[in-house]
Amino acid sequence: EVVLRQSPDTLSLSPGQKATLSCRASQSVSSNYLVWYQQKPGQAPRLLIYGASSRATGVSDRFSGSGSETDFTLTIARLEPEDSAVYFCQQFGYSVWTFGQGTKVEIK
Amino acid sequence: QVHLQESGPGLVKPSETLSLTCVVSTASVDSGHNWGWIRQAPGGGLEWMGNIHNSGTANYSPSLRSRVTMSLNASKNQVTLRLTSVTASDTAIYYCATLHYDILTGYCPYWGQGTLVTVSS
């Protein structure tokens, strides 16, 4: 089973700053099958990025994804209060599909 | 846009069977889309439980394979989840989601709001 480790656990930043979230895989994962979701309290996860770098429909261009093999990054530019949420990565590259444990982004 | 709505008992006793239904709107469960079930323990992370193709073929997480069954009810346009022999560790919010998966990519574009299931006597 591929383990996804996200870091940091919590990120506390001010509006306008840039957030950099990491997702590291225990084995190489095809970037085609690396996904990022945003989850706000009391809501279901929302698809942000698929294929490691493709934005889902309606997602702000302040969100961008990158990476390959075992290291993937979600970057949120010019943070806004509405970006306060937990962000999860997920891999579909192996038979057992797994999620990272999440990174909580707090806006000061 | 696909709309999904989960429903279930809310409270299940230990050792009993949990049954959940996901009602799908604006899409047919038996064509064009595939379906996944994901759960989230209170305050915890996400766990992929399994997925079912629109043909009815299902794949389950190895950790749940002995207890889980997913199926489609085309007449009611529903996706169902059945989990047997539940314990307190099965207490979670259960989500159904559409699943896009092919040789190019995979992701879950649409999710239901989730339904909380508590396992307690």
Please report which residue ranges of A33-88 form alpha helices under DSSP H: none
* Alpha-carbon span B68 to B77, nearest angstrom: 20
Encoded tokens for B26: 């604006």
Asked if A65 is an interface residue toward chain B (Cβ–Cβ < 8 A), one would say no
- pLDDT digits 0-9 by tens, A27-58: 999 999 999 999 999 999 999 999 999 999 99
pLDDT tier for residue A100 given thresholds of 50, 70 and 90: very high
Report percent pLDDT > 70 for chain A.
100
**Cβ contacts (< 8 Å) between B106 and chain A: which residues?**
32-33, 35, 50, 92, 97
Q: How many CB atoms lie within 10 A of CB A20?
A: 14
Asked if A94 is an interface residue toward chain B (Cβ–Cβ < 8 A), one would say no
> Are the Cβ atoms of B101 and A92 closer than 8 angstroms?
yes
- pLDDT value of residue B31: 86
- How far from B65 is each of B60, B113, B116, CA to CA, in Å? 5, 24, 21
- pLDDT value of residue B18: 98
Average pLDDT, chain A: 96
pLDDT at residue A95 tops 80: no
- pLDDT value of residue A14: 97
**Cβ contacts (< 8 Å) between A58 and chain B: which residues?**
none
User: Which residue in A1, A56, A101 is closest to B109 by CB distance?
Assistant: A56
- How far from A19 is each of A51, A64, A85, B33, B86, CA to CA, in Å? 20, 11, 12, 34, 39
* pLDDT under 50: residue ranges of chain B: none
Q: How far is B82 from chain A (nearest CA, A)?
A: 19
